[in-house]
Structure 1
């Protein structure tokens, strides 16, 4: 079974550089256009999905609907799963990226002897957990547990139905964390583009990564719209 794992379209918070996390904003016009192009790219390649999944965040729901509509895959079984939401930034949900990722987190790292060159994804998660004043941010164990379990159970459910191709819409840091979980020696992809596709195979309970952050489907759809 092949999994087409998509990062949602560009949102209002993405555009102005705010940490979105469990907070939510809708796709911008540019974001809607990119995902429309993505759907057209899937259609041009003749990709038929058997099932569709997304997190329960509005931006991923909006994205999956646009994908299915423009790829001629409307009406297939679709399910939301909260476990593949973005990281929770706690009291910093909605804060400017610079305040969190260029301010508080580096300061916490420096105070604990962790450099930018040596820091890990776990270090970043634990830093967010420590600086969160609301007590909402997740520990590393909670974060990696929900993400890995969410994707695994989605894959198991889809495989049990005989699905060959499924599409999942999730979030940038969540996708990057899952990729790193599957292949620890692979550097966690930073800054995955909105609308990018990571292709992952699933067979006999095991995942294998084909591509990460592929924008070719969007480019195909863009060419189709330009020609029209």
Structure 2
């Protein structure tokens, strides 16, 4: 009999761009020392979870996060690990790498809102966000909504289906804030946009017979647990 298939989806550790407030989609910077320390704690907090497989996006910050977690895991050397480009962050085109204020300054104006707070109060959709980013992108690199939806959904669902087909169990996945939030909206479209997931937070999904169920969102207790372990060693 199969075990339940559970995805532990982790937002990567805090990076240089996260720290100085720059937009980080397909652009990439490494984890800061603070970011590395937080992920080390996370790895200690997760070290006894029986992961059958591990995945990350192919972005450097996600791969760095996955490696740190696996290094701290009691069986990390034996957990199969692969990257998947489909679970990357959204691409922000010419806004990638710019300060957050540029992205969140122009997008509300395109959507006819006064500012970011006004836009979020009115609960815009992810499609509206994607369309606005395309309008703002002067390089024509940003992805259309349908392409983002198809790659993100197929990426996570294929990982879950593969694990269920091979007996179920726990899967560790390192991805990105907006991508994780977007995935949850595809599972339950009643959820508000949640683009402020904490670095190193865990969002847990259960997958059974082709259907995802959201268990926990933005859970940081594994970091706290690992910090306590680290403090006593």
Give the unaligned 5+ runs of structure 1: none
Q: Are 2:109 and 1:107 equivalent residues in the alignment? A: yes
| Corresponding residue of 1:35 | 39
Q: How does the TM-score come out when normalised to structure 2? A: 0.92
| Corresponding residue of 1:83 | 86
- How far did residue 42 of structure 1 move? 1.0
Q: Are 2:28 and 1:24 equivalent residues in the alignment? A: yes
Give the unaligned 5+ runs of structure 2: none
- How far did residue 140 of structure 1 move? 0.9
Aligned equivalents of 2:29 and 2:111: distance in 1?
30
Q: Is the 8 A contact 1:38 1:217 kept in 2?
A: yes
Aligned equivalents of 1:108 and 1:189: distance in 2?
20
- How far did residue 154 of structure 1 move? 1.2
| Corresponding residue of 2:66 | 64
- How far did residue 227 of structure 1 move? 2.5
Q: Are 2:214 and 1:209 equivalent residues in the alignment? A: yes
Aligned equivalents of 1:128 and 1:74: distance in 2?
40
Deviations 1:177-197 (A, max 9, x none): 001110111223230000000
User: 5 Å matches for 1:1-228?
Assistant: 1-43=5-47, 46-72=48-74, 73-101=76-104, 103-110=105-112, 116=119, 117-118=121-122, 119-228=124-233
Deviations 1:66-85 (A, max 9, x none): 11111222231111110000
Aligned equivalents of 1:190 and 1:21: distance in 2?
13
SS state at 1:74 partner? helix
Deviating above 6 A after TM superposition, structure 1's stretches of 4 or more consecutive aligned residues are none
Aligned equivalents of 1:78 and 1:160: distance in 2?
17
- How far did residue 105 of structure 1 move? 0.7
Calculate the aligned-residue CA RMSD, in Å.
1.6
Q: Is the 8 A contact 2:39 2:223 kept in 1?
A: yes
Q: Is the 8 A contact 1:176 1:189 kept in 2?
A: yes
Aligned equivalents of 1:163 and 1:69: distance in 2?
23
Aligned equivalents of 2:64 and 2:152: distance in 1?
21
SS state at 1:50 partner? strand
Number of equivalent positions: 224
SS state at 2:164 partner? helix
SS state at 2:78 partner? coil
Task: Select between 120-129 and 213-222 the one with higher mean Cα deviation.
Answer: 120-129
Q: Is the 8 A contact 1:109 1:127 kept in 2?
A: yes
Q: Is the 8 A contact 1:35 1:66 kept in 2?
A: yes
Aligned equivalents of 2:20 and 2:73: distance in 1?
29
